[in-house]
């Protein structure tokens, strides 16, 4: 999409600030309210893509808008508007002033974050997941790039692009099958749960596994299965026990390591029962001067 394009006579695209599998994100001006926002647009597709593929992508984008707009929590990115303009679907979100966890790790040169920062991030993400899971929503793509820490310290989960309703009332299993059947990647290998990799039933405990991968990475500097080959990473998640985090970083509290390893259990039944339980365990770990 061309820079400075006006969408629906209201949102003027100013600068592209992100690009991903689902599309592009632009810093934009909402000319009706005089505020800056973020606008996510479905990436333009060339003629090489078949109409059925495009239809699935467009339906997934619409689903992202509906699911995300229904979530109202300080730890979830706010959705302002949604629509279609000249064949391009768009999602208008709050413009966040901060850095995602991948960028924070880049800022440190790949070194892990401090323990107070790790615990603060973990506690806020657990609280946000507890809320989303109560709404029946499973994120399914939780990773450092989808977790933003704002300038004021608030941590927000972003991009419910492949989230699905856990109770399957609004979206049928046949639709989910059509999504995966197109070959569209459903998740990111370094943070995918074993059941997600195996194509089995996925519920809120899959998000807990992915959060375990995220916490492992920000605590040690690398994800639990840090291989270049995607297939090797997937096999690691499915078959290999992770190296305990304190092997890489002995100063981590044993209780924190226990939480991370519990989150990374292969069997969902062996993980914490829900994000609320995890949140309570993390609060106990917070340093006394926090």
Beta strands in the chain (DSSP E): 6-7, 11-19, 23-30, 35-42, 79-85, 88-94, 98-100, 137-138, 147-150, 155-157, 164-165
The token duo for 238 is 């499915």
What pLDDT, in 10s, does the model give residues 17-75? 988 766 789 999 999 999 999 998 876 555 556 677 777 777 877 877 888 888 999 99
Asked if residues 46 and 54 have their Cβ atoms less than 8 Å apart, the reply is no
Structure tokens at 137: 């929503």
pLDDT tens-digit series, residues 162-181 = 555 443 323 333 333 433 43
Show the domains of the chain with their CATH numbers: 6-94 (3.30.200.20), 98-285 (1.10.510.10)
Active site members: 141
Given this model, what pLDDT does residue 175 score? 32
Each residue's pLDDT tens digit, 226-245: 998 889 999 999 999 999 99
């Amino acid at each position: 999409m061309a820079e400075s394009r006006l969408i629906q006579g209201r949102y003027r695209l100013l600068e592209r600030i992100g690009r991903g599998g689902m599309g592009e994100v632009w810093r934009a001006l909402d000319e009706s309210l005089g505020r800056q926002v973020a606008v996510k647009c479905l990436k333009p597709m060339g003629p090489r893509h078949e109409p059925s593929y495009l239809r699935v992508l467009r339906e997934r984008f619409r689903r992202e808008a509906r699911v995300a707009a229904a979530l109202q929590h300080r730890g979830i990115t706010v959705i302002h508007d949604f629509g279609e303009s000249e064949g391009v679907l768009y999602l208008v979100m709050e413009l966040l002033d901060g850095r995602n966890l991948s960028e924070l790790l880049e800022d440190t040169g790949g070194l892990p974050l401090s323990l107070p920062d790790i615990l603060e991030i973990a506690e806020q993400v657990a609280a946000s997941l507890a809320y989303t899971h109560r709404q029946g929503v499973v994120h399914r793509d939780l990773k450092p790039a989808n977790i933003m820490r704002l300038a004021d310290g608030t941590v927000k989960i972003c991009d419910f692009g492949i989230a699905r309703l856990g109770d399957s009332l609004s979206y049928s299993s046949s639709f989910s099958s059509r999504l995966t059947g197109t070959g569209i990647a459903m998740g990111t290998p370094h943070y995918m749960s074993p059941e997600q990799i195996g194509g089995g039933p996925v519920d809120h405990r899959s998000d807990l596994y992915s959060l375990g991968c995220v916490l492992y990475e920000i605590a040690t500097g690398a994800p639990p299965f840090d291989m270049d080959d995607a297939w090797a990473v997937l096999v690691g998640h499915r078959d290999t026990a992770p190296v305990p985090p304190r092997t890489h970083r002995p100063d981590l509290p044993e209780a924190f390591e226990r939480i991370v390893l519990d989150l990374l259990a292969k069997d969902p039944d062996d993980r914490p029962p829900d994000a609320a339980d995890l949140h309570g365990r993390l609060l106990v770990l917070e340093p006394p001067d926090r």
